[in-house]
Structure 1
Amino acid sequence: MVYLSSTRYEDAYQRIVDGSAHSTGTSILIFASIDVDAICGLRLLTTLLKRDSIGHKIIPVNNYSDITQMNATLIESNLQIRTLVFLNCAAQVDIQDLVNLRDGLSVVIVDSHRPFNLYNVFWNEQVHCLDDGDVEKNMGELRSAFEDIEFSNDTDDESSDDEAGHKRGSDSDGEGKKRRRTGMDPDEFIRLQEQRAKKRELRQYHQSLVQAYYAQGSYYGQSCAVSMLMLAEQMGMPLSADLVWWAIVGATSQYLLHQIDETGYALVVTRMRDLSRRVSLNSPSIPLPAARDKTTEARRSVNYSSSSQALLDSQLGYPTDTAFTPYLDIVEEEDDEGYLKARAGVSTAAEAGLLTSSKIAAQSADIAESSELQFSLLRHWSLANAMQYSPFVARRLATWSSRGRSRLDLLVAKLGLSKAEAGAPFVHLAPELKTQLFKRMAEIGADYDMADASYRGFVRNYGWRKSSLSGSDMVQALLALLQPVEGGQESGFFMAYDALSQYPVLKRGIEGAMEMQKLVVGQGVTMLERQAVKTLRSFRLAMVGMETQTMFGSAFALRQLALFLMQTLRERSKVAQSRLPFIIVAPLTEDRLLVLGVTPIVGGPRVEARFKSQFAGETRNKFGMVFEAAAGDLGADIRQGFFDSSVLEIKREDFSAFVDKLRRHL
């Protein structure tokens, strides 16, 4: 058995430890996909490796070509390398096609992409794949089929038949062989023929089962970051708020990008709720700074982490017991806004505009479950901006029309906020207004087709000098940092990695996320106004103009735009059209295009119940196979080596012919 069930993740880490013990230098290469979940999983893994003083090298990779290149330059020539770890990459292809598995080299794969390549999970003892439960529970028959195809001997039937006949004669010529067959006992001959027929039938069934497994399409399993948190727990790593928070962010990215369904996300929320309560109860007390009147009450220490619910109440604006105002002489970070304002002569944190009204929210660094509204980055700008640039609000109210914009203004008024209050920074709103916002939204949401405006999430507070963050805020910030910059995607990768622990970098990501939301919603609204999305017989097709080359030249922003357009049209179409898959195309360079295919997580192509996943259900994305088939028919210069098989690059001149081929396969 080369896959590891969820109770045996520690075996994978033991391989890493064993490899480092036999090497005098860096023995571990970590290949991490350039995505939010992989970065969160990487942060968890490196924390564990640093605790154990194990040297390692991090290599960001964007496609399979990057891995094969690293194999040629780093692995084959360096015998010190004993372990390769792949985070959110390599599970879907036979790892032996990517790297040279010499003796003494171990591979650990922690990848949420599915389906697994069966050679990785059932074949090579040098490869360990972390299973989220689907292999252990649902793939027993598939394993038997794979082993029958790979290990059984096709000549067994013939040899057993010949041996049975050989007992009745030893003629060596053709006639002798014929007599051996005809001279066989008739009943035994019939039995052998029936046995051979059953074996052939079973072999054909096994082949069809394996083919059906690979043909089901792509989907996602358990978050890489959640798997890494489970591994850390099994290795005895003391849980901290950071570790749990990184796992939450990784899983939240899957939910926001529609990689897992509601049921799968609910499993994660239940698990993370328990862990967040544990780390909150174990958080140390944080003393209040002494007030200037030196009163005894102001000097006392308070355990602000005693109640996760209190933190949740403070985040939602519900009143808490006592407000307080610490003084700025406790500010130490010179890059902090509060420090700069204190140097400028501001006497209190309240005057600096950096203080919340709750002492629990102000001082606690806990994590708490929260009810999140689908208003983009609500805590970091005004309610008006959060709603205007929310894909959810835009598609439900049709804000690309004058009627939709009027309904948005009316909704804000019915929430009980004036235009000035709606346009003010959300953190500066009075607690009673925040309380009213959540209550009123629950009451009138259904009138505006927003009964599902809220979902269960998590929030983390960074102290009174820093804004609170929800899991979705973190995901949006990291996605913004991963956008291609002048230094390339690798530069963005390490910025996102640093943002998980460095607030100034994270703040930069929040600012970038605001700009990205404006671009995504603005471009989507423009395309809907111009009716730029074509509805074909078997799919929808959207073309993004050349003027957006710098904005949507990466799969991160393009996927968000595709999800916005697909969901909007799905909710406003007939039943038959609502299930159509969606293809979006954006300029990558002057002569190349980036093509991305997305499928509705609900109502999309489904698979047999035996292939059902606990995180993605029965919905599958078949664009990977369709793209490959169309590319094969066309014979054009197409690059399809991304870890997400539903993404490819194609020459602009070949695209029209490519679409014609797609019509035949969808």
Structure 2
Amino acid sequence: MYIEDLKKDFYNVIIGERLLLLVNFDIDSICACKILQYLFRCDNVVYTLVPIQGIKDLKNAYNENRSEVKYVLLINCGGNIDIVESLEPDDDVVFFVADNHRPTDVCNVYSNGQVRLLMQPTSDEGIPGFDDIFRDEESDDEEDGEEEDDDDDEGEDSEERVESARQKRMRMSEEAILKRREKRVWEESRRRILFEYTQFSYYGQSCSVLMFELAWKLSKDNHDLIWWAIVGATEQLILGKVENQHYVLESGNLQNHVSRLSHQSSADANAQNTGVKITFDKDLRLALYRHWTVEASIKHTMYTACKLKLWSLRGEKRLNELLAEMGLPLVQSRQKFSAMDLVLRKEFQTSLEKVSEKYGLSNIVYASFVLQYGFRSRFCAADVVYAMLALLEGTGKTKSASDCFLDALDCLSRSQKDILTGGIEKAKRLLECIFKQVQTSLDMSQVLSAGPFLYLVIQEGVLDSACFSNPHCLSLLASFALRAHVAISRSRRAPNLPLVISAPLDHAEGTCLILGIPPVSEDSPRNFFGKAFEQAAEKTNSRAVFDYFDTSCMQLKCEDRGKFFDALTSLLS
């Protein structure tokens, strides 16, 4: 069930109670968690925080803590699965769910109160009506041989009784046939309605924005909280989770809050916000350019790399022409942005805007937020997103997944600037790995057409292949590879074809990660691969694991990959 008032029906309910907080492994979830931690400290709410990566982690985390808690809050997880069926909780346990994954499971939507959804449905979600998907299970068989009054039957002839009974049985048989037919028609309609509802996966409002609005209603909002909400909303844009129009509307809403808080802090010199300034203005769609060299940033940004085809010698020549036309010497473009000549640094954005049309970079500018505190600390929201991605996906022998989660959580604190700076350095290496892999894939023509879709397989043993064993990094690689392929392809169909990408996951287990993304031509990032993967795996009996909350990502045995792709081709043809 959906709850209307977050303050009354959620926050006031958990105050004074022990809470289990289950947080998904993504940036929006971490930002929402950071806002909640601040609120919980203000009101002394006792909670247990457990980061989770999939449905298996969700079940394990709940079973380990089920005896201690009666209230569970799930951030960006659980909304698109039947929670009661999956976790089998006691009747008095209440689950609060804030999840941006869509579509929401209908059992959660129509829960009698054990599952309470904090997000609000939008008109385009098309949630099926209750009567279309649920009905009371009634016995189809009527009781035979109802007792009749002996006094009424005494005068009846035995032949009349036999005829009456025969006619009654015929009527009951006809009614039973009609009921079975009606039930079959209803079940077919139910399957069709549920398929239409669940065939596309997509994303709703950022959970960090939702939690900031809760803090605002509680009169506990400040500059740090609005910044964390901004980072969560920016992640959705960078990873292509929402369309550009959605981000424009959301950023306008956040800008109103930034203006209000800036006005309050200037009038009320709050010590906590002194020296903190958030600005909303035009910015360049270049990755980490304030912390990198201009040349490297332009080269490793997906948008500029695909427009200028920077993986080729001709593209590099075009980049040099662009820099020359901007009046930016190569010596200056190859040193760190902060060390560039002051005049060139100040004029960099306007210089690039002037030549953007000539080089096909019409969307190089977008509206973004910048946080500044102190004299030298200046970070764009996108910079923080890339840093957190690199920290979050830096799992390996040295660090556990939980440690990476906590690093990403800590880098949001202004007092932990060193962690953020380290994350930015890791993000540079990650973007370099992605660019090299795209360049290799194009040079070796590894992006192949299967007919209804394109596919790319990253083979075991490829340098830096371990970088892509995580869904977020693989998603960035898939988007870059698809756009780069479309940029050089002579086929008119290329912009209308989706991409399926595979990367090694666990060498010992012999598993790989499979991920699908929609075509470049699609404005709306709705993804149909979740259902398609399920059907292809079922058809071929492939050893697949659907553990991620994003249904367009799955694990598969490498041996089954060939027959799985064949089934997927047949299914989508």
Q: Measure, in 1, the Cα distance between the counterparts of 2:458 and 2:247.
A: 31
Q: Measure, in 1, the Cα distance between the counterparts of 2:161 and 2:60.
A: 57
Secondary structure, in 3 states, of the residue corresponding to 1:142? coil
Residue 638 of structure 1: CA displacement?
A: 2.1
Q: Measure, in 1, the Cα distance between the counterparts of 2:171 and 2:34.
A: 72
Contact 1:38–1:225 at 8 Å: present in 2 too? yes
Q: Measure, in 2, the Cα distance between the counterparts of 1:251 and 1:390.
A: 19
Q: Give the structure 2 partner of residue 300 of structure 1.
A: none
Unaligned 5+ runs, structure 2: 147-151
Per-residue CA distance 1:422-468 (angstroms, 9 max, x = gap): 123222345542343222322221211111111111111121142x1
Calculate the TM-score normalised by the size of structure 2.
0.88
1:597 is aligned to 2:511: no
1:209 is aligned to 2:125: no
Q: Measure, in 2, the Cα distance between the counterparts of 1:112 and 1:498.
A: 23
Residue-pair matches, total: 550
Q: 1:479 aligns with which of 389, 399, 411?
A: 389
Q: Give the structure 2 partner of residue 443 of structure 1.
A: 354
Distance change >3 Å, CA 173–CA 372, structure 1 → 2: farther
Contact 2:543–2:557 at 8 Å: present in 1 too? yes
Per-residue CA distance 1:86-125 (angstroms, 9 max, x = gap): 1111111100133232133110011111111011111231
Q: Give the structure 1 partner of residue 410 of structure 2.
A: 498
Per-residue CA distance 1:500-519 (angstroms, 9 max, x = gap): 10211111111111111111
1:584 is aligned to 2:490: no
1:518 is aligned to 2:436: no
**Letter of the structure 1 residue corresponding to residue 76 of structure 2:** N
Distance change >3 Å, CA 194–CA 657, structure 1 → 2: closer
Q: Give the structure 1 partner of residue 128 of structure 2.
A: 142
Residue 131 of structure 1: CA displacement?
A: 2.5
Q: 1:50 aligns with which of 26, 41, 48?
A: 41
**Letter of the structure 2 residue corresponding to residue 242 of structure 1:** D
Q: Measure, in 2, the Cα distance between the counterparts of 1:283 and 1:61.
A: 37
Secondary structure, in 3 states, of the residue corresponding to 1:551? helix
**Letter of the structure 1 residue corresponding to residue 3 of structure 2:** L
Residue 521 of structure 1: CA displacement?
A: 1.1
**Letter of the structure 2 residue corresponding to residue 29 of structure 1:** L
Contact 2:39–2:220 at 8 Å: present in 1 too? no
Distance change >3 Å, CA 28–CA 403, structure 1 → 2: same
Residue 525 of structure 1: CA displacement?
A: 1.5
Contact 2:24–2:53 at 8 Å: present in 1 too? yes
1:229 is aligned to 2:212: yes
Residue 286 of structure 1: CA displacement?
A: 12
Contact 2:2–2:117 at 8 Å: present in 1 too? yes
Q: 2:107 aligns with which of 119, 129, 134?
A: 119
Q: How does 1:632-651 map to 2 (within 5 A)?
A: 632-651=538-557
Q: 1:264 aligns with which of 224, 227, 246?
A: 246
Q: Give the structure 2 partner of residue 360 of structure 1.
A: none
Contact 1:132–1:221 at 8 Å: present in 2 too? no
Per-residue CA distance 1:63-95 (angstroms, 9 max, x = gap): 1111112233221xx2x3121111111111100
**Letter of the structure 1 residue corresponding to residue 264 of structure 2:** N
Residue 406 of structure 1: CA displacement?
A: 0.3
Q: Measure, in 1, the Cα distance between the counterparts of 2:171 and 2:165.
A: 10
- Across the aligned residues of Structure 1 and Structure 2, the Cα RMSD in angstroms comes to 3.2
Per-residue CA distance 1:164-216 (angstroms, 9 max, x = gap): xxxxx9999674266569999xxxx99xx9999999867754553233112x2
Q: Give the structure 2 partner of residue 614 of structure 1.
A: none
Q: Measure, in 1, the Cα distance between the counterparts of 2:564 and 2:552.
A: 14
Distance change >3 Å, CA 661–CA 442, structure 1 → 2: same
Q: Measure, in 1, the Cα distance between the counterparts of 2:441 and 2:419.
A: 33
Q: 2:477 aligns with which of 537, 551, 561?
A: 561
Q: Measure, in 1, the Cα distance between the counterparts of 2:110 and 2:223.
A: 36
Q: Measure, in 1, the Cα distance between the counterparts of 2:373 and 2:564.
A: 50
Unaligned 5+ runs, structure 1: 21-26, 164-168, 288-302, 306-362, 605-616
Q: 1:543 aligns with which of 457, 477, 483?
A: 457
**Letter of the structure 2 residue corresponding to residue 35 of structure 1:** D
Q: Measure, in 2, the Cα distance between the counterparts of 1:286 and 1:516.
A: 42
Calculate the TM-score normalised by the size of structure 1.
0.76
1:59 is aligned to 2:47: no
Secondary structure, in 3 states, of the residue corresponding to 1:30? strand
**Letter of the structure 2 residue corresponding to residue 437 of structure 1:** F
Q: Measure, in 1, the Cα distance between the counterparts of 2:3 and 2:171.
A: 53
**Letter of the structure 2 residue corresponding to residue 585 of structure 1:** S
Q: Measure, in 2, the Cα distance between the counterparts of 1:627 and 1:119.
A: 23
Secondary structure, in 3 states, of the residue corresponding to 2:41? helix
1:533 is aligned to 2:517: no
**Letter of the structure 2 residue corresponding to residue 480 of structure 1:** A
Residue 11 of structure 1: CA displacement?
A: 1.3
Distance change >3 Å, CA 445–CA 141, structure 1 → 2: closer
Distance change >3 Å, CA 174–CA 522, structure 1 → 2: farther
Q: How does 1:293-442 map to 2 (within 5 A)?
A: 364-442=275-353
**Letter of the structure 2 residue corresponding to residue 633 of structure 1:** K
Secondary structure, in 3 states, of the residue corresponding to 2:21? strand
